[in-house]
């Protein structure tokens, strides 16, 4: 099973909750027990797992990342989006989540987010479930 999602992002920096879409793919494939690897094939976006309740957590994460890695700095990369590349390396491109009883097993307050750092764009997310 290998599936792809297409995710539209609306701002330069934003977190898009993709938990329900990934769960739908897991449900469709019918796999009950295993692990689900989620992978973002981009170099200026990543994946992160964080709070799904209060949206200010997401905005605090993005604002803090913007302080840690300022958009304008002495970067050499001519496209001008080095900060987005660096943030992608900080949060990472892949996550592996347990699948138990056909469900992505996340904590109560956890959601899986596409972390957009150079949007708005249409991004892909790749998903594969391994039984076990």
Interaction site with a second copy (CB under 8 A): 2, 33-35, 37, 39-43, 48-51, 54, 56-57, 59-61, 63-65, 68-69, 73-79, 82-83, 85-86, 88-98, 100, 105-110, 124, 126, 128-132
Q: What is the dihedral of CA 52, 129, 5, 94, to 10 degrees?
A: 60
How far apart are CB 19 and a second copy at their closest, in Å?
Answer: 13
Report the residue number, 24 or 54, with the smaller CB distance to a second copy.
Answer: 54
Question: Which residue number, 12 or 62, has a Cβ lying nearer to a second copy?
Answer: 62
Q: Token digits for 34?
A: 């295993």
List C-alpha distances in Å: 21 to 7, 28, 71, 87. Answer: 10, 11, 30, 24
């Amino acid at each position: 099973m290998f599936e792809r999602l297409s995710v539209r992002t609306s701002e330069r920096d934003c977190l898009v909750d993709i938990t329900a879409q990934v769960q739908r793919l897991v449900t469709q494939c019918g796999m009950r027990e295993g692990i689900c690897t989620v992978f973002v094939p981009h170099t200026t976006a990543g994946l992160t797992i964080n709070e799904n309740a209060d949206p200010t957590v997401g905005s605090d994460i993005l604002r803090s990342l913007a302080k840690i890695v300022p958009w304008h700095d002495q970067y050499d990369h001519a496209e001008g989006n080095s900060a987005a590349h660096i943030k992608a390396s900080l949060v990472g491109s892949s996550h592996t989540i347990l699948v138990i009883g056909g469900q992505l097993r996340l904590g109560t307050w956890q959601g899986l987010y596409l972390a957009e750092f150079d949007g708005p764009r249409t991004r892909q997310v790749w998903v594969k479930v391994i039984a076990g």
